[in-house]
């Protein structure tokens, strides 16, 4: 039962800040940064990292391109913060599900819900990891993307294997492949939802769980 370690990314703080200290001011600082970061995440998700210009982010944030650098070291630092924040959160949620040590069916259900929930809450980050991973993974700074992907895969595979061992799931399937199917379906579903599909992420997660467990045959 793998317990996931911390996800990378640089520590977030205002650029070159030498510790202004008060919580209140930190919050204020965070607000502006968070705003910009949220705007950036949206655009990154829609257009991809490389296809997004810092000027687009700046325009959407109501400032000039150069002013972004008051808050962030670089465009790269922005994605870094977006991705590492999301992945850390996802990993923490998975950890909690695994730590609960329920029976395989319950755990699977919780994992699927975590997956769908994470996907819809952090659509931007997820889209990024899917569409730009090839580019980003080449950059040393983003090595943690690969690492986390592997950790998550191992967690799912281990859990599926446990279900097979206890007789909860069919034992004739390659758990790695099953995880691939689940992941792919979940990802497609999120795009479907955000394109105007009507159902909530929970409802879709349940439907997916249903199909996954019982199949579509009558």
**Residues forming the site for its own copies (CB under 8 A):** 16, 46-48, 50-51, 59, 130-132, 134-135, 167-171, 173-174, 176-178, 180-189, 192, 197, 199, 204, 207-208, 210-218
The backbone region for 64, taken as left when phi is positive above 0, alpha when psi lies in -120 to 50, beta otherwise, is beta
Q: Is 34 in the site for DNA (CB under 7 A)?
A: no
| Binder of residue 32, out of its own copies, DNA, none (CB less than 5 to 8 A by kind) | DNA
Residue of 8, 48, 63, 105 that binds DNA (CB under 7 A): 63
Instruction: Indicate the SS3 state at residue 116.
Output: helix
Q: Is 6 helix (H, G, I), strand (E, B) or coil?
A: coil
**Cβ atoms within 10 Å of 111's Cβ, excluding its own:** 23
66 or 184: CB nearest DNA = 66
Other CB atoms within 10 Å distance of the CB of residue 211: 11
Q: Does 46 bind DNA (CB under 7 A)?
A: no
> Residue 83 CB, nearest distance to its own copies (Å)?
17
Of 2, 12, 38, 76, the one binding DNA (CB under 7 A) is: 76
Question: CA 10, CA 14: separation in Å to the nearest integer?
Answer: 12
């Amino acid at each position: 039962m793998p317990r996931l370690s911390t996800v990378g990314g640089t520590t977030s703080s205002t650029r070159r800040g030498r510790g202004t200290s008060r919580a209140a001011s930190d919050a204020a600082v965070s607000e502006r940064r968070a705003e910009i970061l949220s705007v950036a995440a949206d655009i990154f998700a829609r257009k991809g990292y490389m296809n997004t210009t810092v000027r687009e982010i700046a325009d959407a944030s109501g400032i000039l391109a150069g002013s972004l650098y008051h808050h962030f070291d670089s465009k790269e630092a922005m994605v870094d913060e977006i991705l590492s924040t999301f992945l850390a959160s996802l990993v923490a949620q998975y950890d909690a599900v695994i730590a609960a040590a329920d029976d395989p069916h319950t755990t699977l259900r919780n994992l699927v819900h975590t997956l769908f929930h994470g996907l819809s809450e952090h659509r931007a980050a997820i889209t990024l990891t899917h569409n730009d991973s090839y580019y980003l993974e080449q950059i040393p700074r983003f090595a943690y993307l690969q690492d986390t992907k592997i950790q998550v895969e191992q967690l799912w595979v281990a859990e599926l294997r446990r279900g097979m061992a206890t007789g909860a799931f069919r034992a004739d399937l390659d758990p790695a492949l099953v995880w691939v199917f689940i992941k792919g379906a979940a990802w497609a579903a999120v795009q479907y939802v955000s394109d105007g599909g009507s159902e909530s992420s929970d409802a879709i997660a349940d439907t997916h769980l249903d199909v996954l467990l019982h199949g579509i045959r009558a």
